[in-house]
């Protein structure tokens, strides 16, 4: 298959190898570039309900392939495993509790629907959304390996003064503590997922709404929230400092590994990528 642009030729060996010879492409290319045939059924319904069904289906697949592995590993660690290596250091208990920061912490769960809302409704945007979902799935499975092989209990909740919480704070802490056992320490998937999604939304808004004040304001708000989220995993005693550092590292590496996929869609277009990947 011919690479359509000169700039694409410069990385043809990287991005186009899976389509030239799927059997000989290396593991990295097989994982981060379009999964051959995997998204065929979902892609065939991309125009249903004016494109809204496609987003909803991506959300459902995210629950299946992202949420299920996370909560499964979390419950396995909590009920059947013990700490293999404790990443706690003296500084973790010196960081003060800040009750209200449970709000930016819980706001992670807004990143997922926000990404779907921001995603463009053309084939390029849809292909990028699918490839981003692949990245989230792989990042989740990668982190879940450490959660199960090197489990660590996050033993910090005793520092919380639950009697001092407002009603909102109490509700949010209650929800988090009920749904998320104090395990799955490092790398922090809170940090990994939010970094990838923040970069993806920024990528779309900068391209699709360049120069628009509302888009710029949203991007600023997004990264302020991300900064608060990074701090909040420490000040709500949900994570250790080591979890934050390793989460940032994994998120940045995952985004870097995602670049060939974005470049492929940019050079060839979403429709052609879908055809080459066997989605149509």
User: What is the SS3 assignment for 153?
Assistant: coil
- Residue 185 phi/psi, 5-degree rounding, is -75, -65
What is the model's pLDDT at position 142?
97
Would you state the pLDDT for residue 25?
52
Token match 């419950």: residue? 75
Any domain includes 182: yes
240 phi, psi to nearest 5 deg: -90, 165
Rounded Cα distance between 188 and 250, Å, is: 9
∠ CA 176-182-184 to the nearest 5 degrees? 105
| Dihedral (Cα; 25, 29, 31, 33), 10-degree rounding | -120
Cβ atoms of 249 and 192 within 8 Å: the answer is no
Does a structural domain hold residue 102?
yes
Domain span at residue 230 reads 37-276
pLDDT of residue 91: 96
The answer to whether residue 77 is domain-embedded is: yes
Give per-10-residue mean pLDDT for the chain (280 aa). 39 38 58 87 95 96 96 97 96 98 97 97 97 97 98 96 96 96 97 98 96 96 98 98 98 96 95 93
Total domains in the fold of the chain: 1
Are 46 and 120 a contacting pair, CB within 8 Å? Answer: no
Closest alpha carbon to 198 in 159, 242, 238, 255: 255
Q: What are phi and psi of 265, to 5 degrees?
A: -65, -40
Dihedrals φ, ψ of 33, to 5°? -90, 170
22 within some domain: no
Is residue 113 assigned to a domain? yes
Q: For residue 23, is it within any domain?
A: no
Burial class (CB in 10 A: 0-12, 13-18, 19+), 212: exposed
Residue found by looking up tokens 């990443």 in the block: 87
Assigned domain for 14 exists: no
Q: Are 171 and 111 in contact (CB under 8 A)?
A: no
Structural domain contains residue 27: no
Whole-prediction pTM value? 0.89
Long-range pairs, 89-95, Cβ under 8 A, ≥24 = 89/240, 89/241, 89/242, 91/241, 92/156, 92/234, 92/240, 92/241, 93/156, 93/159, 95/234, 95/235, 95/241
């Amino acid at each position: 298959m011919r690479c359509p642009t000169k700039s694409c030729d410069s990385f043809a060996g990287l991005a186009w190898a899976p389509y030239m010879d799927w059997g000989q492409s290396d593991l990295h290319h097989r994982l981060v570039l379009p999964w051959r045939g995997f998204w065929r059924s979902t892609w065939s319904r991309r125009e249903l309900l004016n494109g809204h069904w496609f987003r909803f289906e991506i959300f459902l697949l995210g629950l299946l392939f992202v949420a299920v592995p996370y909560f499964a590993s979390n419950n396995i660690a909590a009920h059947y495993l013990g700490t293999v290596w404790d990443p706690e250091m003296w500084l973790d208990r010196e960081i003060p509790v800040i009750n209200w920061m449970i709000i930016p912490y819980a706001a992670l769960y807004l990143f997922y629907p926000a990404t779907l809302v921001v995603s463009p409704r053309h084939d390029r945007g849809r292909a990028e959304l699918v490839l981003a979902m692949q990245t989230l799935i792989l990042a989740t499975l990668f982190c879940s390996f450490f959660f199960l092989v090197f489990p660590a209990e996050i033993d910090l909740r005793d520092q919380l003064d639950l009697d001092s919480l407002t009603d909102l704070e109490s509700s949010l802490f209650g929800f988090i503590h009920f749904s998320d056992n104090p395990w799955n320490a490092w790398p922090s998937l809170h940090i990994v997922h939010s970094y990838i999604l923040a970069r993806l939304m920024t990528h779309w808004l900068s391209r699709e709404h360049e120069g628009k004040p509302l888009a710029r304001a949203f991007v600023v708000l997004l990264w302020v929230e991300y900064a608060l989220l990074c701090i909040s995993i420490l000040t709500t005693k949900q994570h250790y400092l080591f979890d934050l550092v390793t989460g940032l590292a994994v998120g940045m590496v995952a985004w870097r590994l995602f670049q060939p996929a974005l470049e492929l869609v940019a050079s060839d277009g979403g429709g052609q990528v879908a055809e080459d990947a066997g989605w149509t």
